[in-house]
Structure 1
Amino acid sequence: MDLALLRTFVTVHRAGSFTRAAALLGLSQPAVTSQIRTLERQVGRPLFLRRPRGVTPTTMGDELAHKAAPHLDALVEIAETGLDEDSSLRTLHLAGPPEFTAERALPALTDLCGEDGQGLTLRASFGTAEEVLEGLAAGHHDLAISTARPRGALLTTTPLCDEEHVLVAAPRWAGRIDTGRLRRDGAAALEDLPVMEVHESLPLVSRYWAAVFDSRPAASGTVVVPDLRAVLACAIAGAGLAVLPRYLCAAALERGEVVAPHEPTVPPLRTYVLVVRAGTLAMPHVARAHDRLLGAAAEWC
């Protein structure tokens, strides 16, 4: 059985689409279709059921993928290890949310780069969870950091760390909050205060309000800017309330530039995951970065 046909088959099985598999393989969609038909003729059974949107494997297709995929991944690992040893530099394309990627992920990976590193150059992209997962699935990135878990067999996830969220405000705004009423009435005590966020939908504020106050925020955002570092800067400048990751605002809290007017017994958490395309951890440069981030995350939690 032709290994090239098996490689195409496994890619289609993981991608769930001839079109997406073609993009990942650098082939045309008709070429992928032709290879799958050739393989189906060789095995004498259909391997996929064609659907209006993509394909789903038959029982035979699942069985063949289960048998073939580990061996193909092992061959990729052997080939990539040789390439890694022969090449002075390999490039890792990383994607994730701007704040977490800039403040935590990139510093953790820098010792893999440069003259004293392990032959790695790094290219980073920022985006929403949806954007980075779509880019990873399309082959634009090698490794993604996300707060959303993808569906399907193409992308696989590993839990990375939990992020604690904190309600913060500049001292002049915090001083206007009746803490007794806040404990008694919850979010009603905050209705008249301006709120800052990264999106009009108020994702962090809404999550905090739901988890801590069992309610929804009453007002729209006074300042909306798609970077939590900018939200923190606005909070320090006195623009209003914000919900921020503790790692991002810890220094400002310690310096008294912002305060936490409410500390719930169980703070809201958001979980980050590392995401790769199935089989790509066989590539040494991807595996090294993946392992380095997992090791660093043990100290972040």
Structure 2
Amino acid sequence: MDIDVKTLRTFCEVIRTGSFTSAAHRLGYSQSSVTAQMRALERQVGAPVFHRLPNGVRLTPAGSTLRGYAGQLLTLVGEMEEALRGPSATAPRLRVGLVPALAYGEQLARIAQFGRRLLPGVQLALRVMGTAEIHAALRAGGLDGAILLTGREHRPAPAAPVPVLSGAPGRAADRARTAVLAERASAVRERPEAPTEIPVQDLEFTPSTSAGARPPLACHQVVVADPDCPSQRWLPEFLRLRGGEPPESLELGSMDGVHATVTAGLGCAMLPTGLAAQPYGAGLAPIPGVPRMQWTVSLLASRTKEFREGHRQGLADAIRLALTCPA
């Protein structure tokens, strides 16, 4: 079997984007070129690697097997290229923004720890910034990448039925979700120079209030860490649609600050479930009638010479480990 690096990179890009068309756009190829590369790859493998679907592609069992080895091979190729260039005077420095919704508890330190382990020889500079600030910094070239929550995949998280206080929370949840998605769709338009988006991990959020608070008073004020983050915009919109009036909003800029404020009984918030559960969640309770939600943690990687393929995958793996490994 003689599969070249170019074909493996195209294969991995198709996996990330979910379609031949999107992969061709990201790589600067024609769609016919990507299709021809994947057909040649399947001839080499001896089996289809993708199921062709009306709205994209899905990996076959052979494709899933190939994905693991392709990632390892591309990482080794990146290391070989770096070694052949010889030692540099200074280590590459990756400036990466991180939204407050992901910088709670020990998460920031854990991302830095795993990033150092999986990105040897790279200086990782993490900066906690609001979502709007991150997008502005990416456009201006002030960041090489960003770790943030994307709204396109958010959905109700599986949960046992909860008592309904009033109104129709299911409909309110749908309307709130639709409003946030519509806002995202109208505000964001993909450009050729747009950063590469790598979905990393789903993260669940729990609508939380103080265990001693009594709804609906507990929902009178919503505490947010980042008003432009989809996880923080959703609850005020849900409560507005359910109650007819927008709740008051208190912006703190820190998820730990939001957690402390809600614990003190001064409002409600959408908290990462890991922060709303024991031991951090002592004194907190879910808001009855309001569903838990999930958003996708994604890595945005700018097209800079410092942010190479191996760096993107290493940082994505570091984020996944920080979010899933027990503390």
| TM-score (ref. length: structure 2) | 0.52
The correspondence for 2:254, drawn from 210, 227, 235, is: 227
The answer as to 2:209 corresponding to 1:165 is no
1:11 maps to none
Q: How has the CA–CA distance of structure 1 residues 125 and 83 changed in structure 2, closer, same or farther, with 3 Å as cutoff? A: farther
The answer as to 2:204 corresponding to 1:156 is no
Alignment of 1:238-277 (within 5 A): 238-251=265-278, 254-255=281-282, 257-262=283-288, 267-277=292-302
Q: How has the CA–CA distance of structure 1 residues 298 and 217 changed in structure 2, closer, same or farther, with 3 Å as cutoff? A: farther
The answer as to 2:105 corresponding to 1:66 is no
Q: How has the CA–CA distance of structure 1 residues 107 and 236 changed in structure 2, closer, same or farther, with 3 Å as cutoff? A: same
The amino acid that maps onto 1:159 is P
The amino acid that maps onto 2:260 is A
1:89 maps to 91
The correspondence for 1:108, drawn from 106, 111, 117, is: 111
Distance 1:203 1:295 in 2: 23
Q: How has the CA–CA distance of structure 1 residues 276 and 98 changed in structure 2, closer, same or farther, with 3 Å as cutoff? A: same
Secondary structure of 1:92's match?
A: strand
Shift of 1:84: 7.1
Structure 2 segments unaligned to the other structure (5+ residues): 1-24, 35-76, 153-187
Q: How has the CA–CA distance of structure 1 residues 216 and 274 changed in structure 2, closer, same or farther, with 3 Å as cutoff? A: farther
1:135 maps to 137
Distance 2:206 2:320 in 1: 24
The amino acid that maps onto 1:104 is Q
Q: How has the CA–CA distance of structure 1 residues 106 and 285 changed in structure 2, closer, same or farther, with 3 Å as cutoff? A: farther
Which is helix-richer, 1 or 2? 1
Structure 1 segments unaligned to the other structure (5+ residues): 1-61, 71-75, 178-188
The amino acid that maps onto 1:158 is I
Deviation track 1:28-65 (CA, whole Å, cap 9, x = no partner) reads xxxxxxxxxxxxxxxxxxxxxxxxxxxxxxxxxx8x94
Distance 2:241 2:304 in 1: 42
Shift of 1:287: 4.4
Deviation track 1:236-289 (CA, whole Å, cap 9, x = no partner) reads 12212222121222235653x21124265x622222211112465536445432
Shift of 1:118: 1.8
The correspondence for 2:308, drawn from 259, 262, 282, is: 282
Contact 1:205 1:217 in 2 (8 A): no
Aligned-residue Cα RMSD (Å) equals: 4.2
2:61 maps to none
The amino acid that maps onto 2:314 is R
Distance 2:312 2:89 in 1: 15
Deviation track 1:133-167 (CA, whole Å, cap 9, x = no partner) reads 23223322222112247622221101122222212
Identity, % of aligned positions: 18
1:22 maps to none
Q: How has the CA–CA distance of structure 1 residues 82 and 167 changed in structure 2, closer, same or farther, with 3 Å as cutoff? A: same
Contact 2:235 2:269 in 1 (8 A): no
Contact 2:219 2:267 in 1 (8 A): no
The correspondence for 1:145, drawn from 141, 144, 147, is: 147
Shift of 1:232: 0.7
Aligned length: 217
Contact 2:114 2:322 in 1 (8 A): no
Q: Report which stretch shifted further, 269-278 or 128-137.
A: 128-137
Deviation track 1:87-127 (CA, whole Å, cap 9, x = no partner) reads 5733221112024145435413324539x972232212222
Distance 2:298 2:229 in 1: 22
The answer as to 2:264 corresponding to 1:237 is yes
Q: How has the CA–CA distance of structure 1 residues 131 and 117 changed in structure 2, closer, same or farther, with 3 Å as cutoff? A: closer
Distance 1:289 1:192 in 2: 37
